[in-house]
Amino acid sequence: MRTTAEIEYDFVALLAGQLPAEVARREFEVLWDESNRALVATLGTAEGEAYLSLLKDMHIQFVKRYGDPARGGAGRGSV
């Protein structure tokens, strides 16, 4: 299981990559699933809280950039 810092690093690189929206959504989903699995494995601990915080931050930042992936949103990068 990777740390929150390792996942966050890949997420920041994803946002900086100027990827087409569809590619970014697929990569985001992989990072989201990894973070979510780690959260479930550490639920009820301080480490779990860190994964939960990471998931919240990832969602907010991704929606700002690409729109809400759950709704096929149109963020500024999806033009």
Number of helices followed by number of strands (H, E) in the chain? 3, 0
The residue behind tokens 């639920």 is: 43
Better-scored residue on pLDDT, 76 or 73 = 73
Q: How confident is the model at residue 57, as a pLDDT?
A: 97
- Quick one: CA dihedral 25, 69, 43, 46, positive or negative? positive
Q: How confident is the model at residue 71, as a pLDDT?
A: 66
Q: How confident is the model at residue 78 (pLDDT cuts 50, 70, 90)?
A: very low
pLDDT tens digit string along 13-71? 999 998 999 999 999 999 999 999 999 999 999 999 999 999 999 999 999 999 887 76
H helix or E strand, kind and range, residue 20: none
- What letter does residue 78 receive in the DSSP assignment? G
Q: How confident is the model at residue 76 (pLDDT cuts 50, 70, 90)?
A: very low
